[in-house]
Amino acid sequence: MRSLKILIIIILFSNPVYANMKNAFDFKFDSIDGKDLNLSKYKGNTLLVVNVASRCGFTNQYDGLQTLWEEYKNKGFVVIGVSSNDFNQELKSKEEVKKFCEVNFGINFPMTDITTIKGDNAHPFFKWAKDTSGFKPKWNFYKILINKSGQIEDTFSSMTKPKSTKLISAIEKIL
């Protein structure tokens, strides 16, 4: 059994995608503003990473995400919106997404450019999430709660609303 564990660790860390990526803070995205969104900037904070889309039945969750951000950002909590068209419900450009989010929901938490979150071309963060916890978004507004050490604390489907007791309790527990 011990040999199997050692073999798995060797295989995992010999893969160039994961060799230097041990936690969420090791990843970066392209931001919706055209700059780098390096998660290392948030090291020591609690993160809620959410794959979002502008034309989804769950898009109204932007309101709750913005409220969470406003209520907890001074306590070391960061919402990261990962715009994705993997379910064919996102606008065509990051500029359209940014305008839509600002005008309709007043979003000012960090957001990424339109990003692939599933399949072979998934962003390395989502490959890491799948490989380390089995998490794989099955729709828009899936949520990954990252603790202050950069590890996945919990995951939530789009059915879990941002202001749900379940999600808020999980956030408050690790803040």
Task: From the candidates 56, 107, 129, 167, give the one annotated as an active-site residue.
Answer: 56
How many Cα atoms within 13 Å fall on the side-chain side of residue 56?
25
3-class DSSP state of 73: helix
Residues 6+ apart with CB under 8 A from 65: 48, 50, 52, 79, 81, 107, 109, 162
What gap in Å lies between CA 134 and CA 119, rounded to an integer? Answer: 13
What gap in Å lies between CA 159 and CA 44, rounded to an integer? Answer: 28
Tokens of residue 38, six digits: 């390096």
Which stretches within 89-123 are classed as H helix? 94-105
Q: Establish whether 101 is a catalytic residue.
A: no
* Backbone phi and psi for residue 83, each to the nearest 5 degrees, phi listed first: -65, 135
Question: Which active-site residues does the annotation give?
Answer: 56
